Amino acid sequence: MRVDANSRDFSYRTTFRGLLVRAASALLGVVRFALFAVLGALEPFVRLVLVLMGFLGLTACVIYRLLLHDPRFPLATMLTLSVGFCVVAALYRALVQWLSDETG
């Protein structure tokens, strides 16, 4: 059985490539776990603040625009910010859930 230099070189390259892929995957797993640990620990506080800001903004919209009839109140800005806070809270939860997924 004859083995020429090209097939041997190809074998070494695929082995090195596989080792490189495994090392990159392990490094990505470590970074992903560290990021999940920090974001997961902060999640209850961050979500509480974001959702509270959203609902307080909506409450301010109702009070100032509908009950007090204040024409100077920036309704569109407040509604945009309030909905934005709730959307960011949902995206934060989705990010933490994606980071915690083992198959991810």
Structural domain boundaries enclosing 43: 5-100
Domain count for the chain: 1
Give the pLDDT score at 69.
86
pLDDT at 96 over 90: yes
Taking the complete model, does pTM exceed 0.85, yes or no? no
Mean pLDDT for 72-92 is: 94
Within the chain, strands assigned E span: none
In b/e form, how buried is each residue of 29-50, taking b as 16+ CB within 10 angstroms? eeeeeeebeeeeeebeebbeeb
Lowest mean pLDDT among 2-6, 86-90, 94-98: 2-6
In terms of Cα–Cα distance, which of 91, 93, 86, 97 is closest to 49? Answer: 86
Spatial distance between the Cα atoms of 30 and 24, rounded to a whole number of angstroms: 10
pLDDT at 41 over 90: yes
